[in-house]
Amino acid sequence: MSGRPFAWEAAYPPTLRWDLPDPPTSLPALLEAAVARDPDGIAIDFSGRMITYRELLERERSAAAGLAALGVGPGVSVGLYLPNTPFHPIAFFGTLRAGGRIAHLSPLDPPRRLRFKLEDSETRILITSDDPEPLDRAAALLEERVIDRLIVAEARDFDPGARATPLPRRAIPFRRLGDGVPTRRAPPIDPDALALLQYTGGTTGQPKGAMLTHANLTAAVGAYRAWFAGTGTPMGPGDRLICALPLFHIYALTTILLLGLDRGATVLLRPRFDVETTLRDIEIGRATFFAGVPTMWSAIANHPTIERRDLSSLRVLSSGGAPLPTEIVAAIHRRTGRQLGAGWGMTETAPAGTRMLPDQAHAPGLIGVPLPGVEMQIVALDDPRRVLSAREIGEIRVRGPNVARGYWRAPAQSAASHVDDFLLTGDVGYQDEHGSFYLVDRKDDMIISGGFNVYPTMIEQAIYEHPAVEEALVIGIRDAVRGQSAKAYVKLRAGAPPLTLEALREFLADKLGRHELPAALEIRAALPRTAVGKLWRRGLLETPADDADRSASAAAQNTSDPNTRTPGAPA
């Protein structure tokens, strides 16, 4: 890569190198190496059910043989329509070992979006769970011939107390997948082979499948591995990683599951985020690593017993998936004495991007320095080939071995998103004189008010300083005079007094410019969230038709979907 040495390398500690030491490999090879090091180590703790590395490998090899017998191989997509369950990593590695590729699907996808992703990814084989809602949808897809094969993972296979669910006609039980099929040593997999179609976007148009290869994903794992080792927090077999984030999202997939398995650690796989369960995993289960989104950390900081809980086992506290409000960082430090780290990434970077240095004080918008192997620049909003100087605001562009090669069946979008071998991220930010990057906002979310650029994230950060505010989102609304103005949506803290627009504007007067002050305020009992639990601006813009299409999914749980780009993502 050109332009070295990079400004951020001077900020690296002496033990950290920017160059990635290990070449990318295939994902099955990553798992095999971990098994060879410690076959009897615990790979997954699923609510008390312990799965060793040896058992994980045996189960995925059996699944690979069964999938191969169904025709899975190079060029064949297998859809994973699964919640957090051990079946996910088994099916994930099994499909890849058979030579196929994964199409990740959210259990919260409404029927229209689910059908689009299946047809777009050319997926005819679907693996789902026996949870009633996804099972009913999958059965309908089978009957309608949208898919040819339906494989159902039954909860009782890992939880003997779970109730047996009648399976749809022609469905294949996952536990029978490899019956009578001899396991064979799979041929070596080319690291440049397509491994995953990870869908992103879809809030303002059809979702796009980011094409991630084995090399992309293992390079991202290598970037995190090198970072933690080089910053004094090497990960190894003694580590226990909480996975309450959904595995169908790139954040949890890479930074928890794949990184944890690569390091021989134990992944504490949980069906969903629950504050009390997470605190028990830390206090009693002695978890050492917890990666969450800001709303999770807010829930932890506001838990009534947090100041009495023992969090001493945690070595790494990370926030990603969305910009991290300074107030949440301060609240975690104030109530636990621990420093919350943050960074940035996106689906297309698998999702390695940046991370704050261990001794770096949090500041509004700060996302840290690029991870090893990742190169970033700021370019002009009107000319993506013109690289800007320090402190100039522009679009972030990125390149590295972890960056997706494009979008599936979308050559025009793939070409438009790449300039000079860099991926244009759509995120607006700047770089300081020391190489640290700051996130200002999403380019698509920028508000043009009276000819000025107004960034919702900056307004949200200021609103979070108000003592009555628990959560905030800002979007642009029509303004007859200015073209657009900012509107704030706020969830108040329990017991907080009412908040008026006038009072909020007065509070913000010394924190924002006049053109940035909200012109409207709406107090809500809850704000929309994505599947990872991050606050979701686009959810405020959903049409009634979209809401109706999503209602069955969203009503059943406390986080919504889709696999959008993730500014502020993983740490």
For domain 51-189, which CATH number applies: 1.20.200.10, 3.40.50.300, 3.20.20.10, 3.40.50.980? 3.40.50.980
Average pLDDT over residues 525-536: 86
Residue 203: the pLDDT is 41
Residue 550 pLDDT level (bands cut at 50, 70, 90): very low
What is the per-residue pLDDT across 326-339, written as a single tens digit (0 to 9) for each? 888 999 999 888 89
Q: What is the dihedral of CA 216, 371, 322, 289, to 10 degrees?
A: 90
Residue 205: the pLDDT is 60
Q: In degrees, to the nearest 5, what angle opens at C-alpha 522 toward C-alphas 570 and 500? A: 115
The answer to whether 425 touches 396, Cβ cutoff 8 Å, is yes
Superfamily of chain region 7-22+210-435: ANL, N-terminal domain (3.40.50.12780)
**Comparing C-alpha atoms, which of 235, 275, 238 is closest to residue 256?**
235
* pLDDT > 90? residue 14: yes
For domain 444-527, which CATH number applies: 3.40.190.10, 3.90.1300.10, 3.30.300.30, 3.40.50.450? 3.30.300.30
CA distances 9 to 19, 219, 375, Å, are 10, 19, 11
Rounded Cα distance, 413 and 418, in Å: 9
The answer to whether 318 touches 300, Cβ cutoff 8 Å, is no
Average pLDDT over residues 152-171: 91
CATH 3.30.300.30 domain residues, the chain: 444-527
* pLDDT > 50? residue 546: no
The answer to whether 450 touches 517, Cβ cutoff 8 Å, is no
Residue 212: the pLDDT is 98
Lowest mean per-residue pLDDT among 91-95, 166-170, 491-495, 567-571: 567-571
Please give the model's pTM, rounded to 2 decimal places: 0.84
Rounded Cα distance, 411 and 430, in Å: 29
CATH 3.40.50.980 domain residues, the chain: 51-189
